[in-house]
Amino acid sequence: MQWIMSFLTNRSQATKLGFHLSSTLPINRSIVQGSGIGPTLFSMFACDLRQLDEFYYFMKYVDDSTLLCPQKSTTTVEEEIAHVMNWALEKKDRESP
């Protein structure tokens, strides 16, 4: 477990566009894309993300989630998206230092 914490802390990133490189900034959230452990960490992080309506369906793969919405259901797409946003904010608040 300690090596995972070490892997996820004290990280930084920069963005390159053509020959221009931005300044480096610290990263205190997210999962490293392209890493071998990234898909597993994403699965662990997103395992409690559930839809409100039983007829909606989440497809979660590697570092992406897709919500499939039926034509008719008891909740609206807006309610489902608000639910996802609330879930994300709760996760952020729980993991803030």
CA dist., res. 92 & res. 27, Å (int): 13
First to last CA, the chain: 19
Task: Give the number of other CB atoms < 10 A from CB of residue 35.
Answer: 12
As a whole number of angstroms, the distance between CA 44 and CA 77 comes to: 25
Which pLDDT tens digits describe the chain residue by residue (97 residues)? 788 777 778 888 888 999 999 999 888 766 766 777 777 777 777 777 788 888 887 777 666 778 888 888 888 889 888 988 898 888 777 665 5
The answer to whether 68 and 54 have CB atoms below 8 angstroms apart is: no
